[in-house]
Amino acid sequence: QVQLVQSGAEVKKPGASVKVSCKASGYTFTNNAIIWVRQAPGQGLEWMGWISAYNGNTNYEQKLLGRVTMTTDTSTSTAYMELRSLRSEDTAVYYCARDYGGSHCDYWGQGTLVTVSS
């Protein structure tokens, strides 16, 4: 069965970086893109960007440009999201999700809580 398993919770200081992993199993990793979504406490879902696991092409939310990098490692079927220059407003649960055919996200990771605090 399809599974996306994310790395564990992180606590970071302002200005630091965080790298969240998302290990896929149960399907051919390169057949689908991965979307990253975050959710601040008590807030809605925010799309962060998209990466093709086939060729590594990316598309990022404009307001995160320059601070976010999404990558994949096809040898381990793992996607990564790195966010730099962290601010308190980046405190959120970060999700990866499988993009099925550019139509919907059908499987989601369990979420990774990133807390930014001095």
Interaction site with other proteins (CB under 8 A) = 35, 37, 44-47, 49-50, 59, 61-62, 95, 97, 100, 102-106, 108-111
Q: Which is nearer to other proteins, 15 or 31 (CB)?
A: 31
Q: Work out the end-to-end distance of the chain between its first and last CA atoms, rounded to an integer number of angstroms.
A: 40
User: Per DSSP, what are the bridge partners of residue 43?
Assistant: none
Give the residue with the Cβ less far from other proteins, 9 or 45. Answer: 45
Kindly state the smallest distance separating residue 31's Cβ from other proteins, in Å. 17
Phi, psi of 16, rounded to the nearest 5 degrees:
-80, 180
Q: How far is the CB of 88 from other proteins (least distance, A)?
A: 21
The answer to whether 6 and 21 have CB atoms below 8 angstroms apart is yes
For 81, the token pair is 């999201």
Kindly state the smallest distance separating residue 114's Cβ from other proteins, in Å. Answer: 16
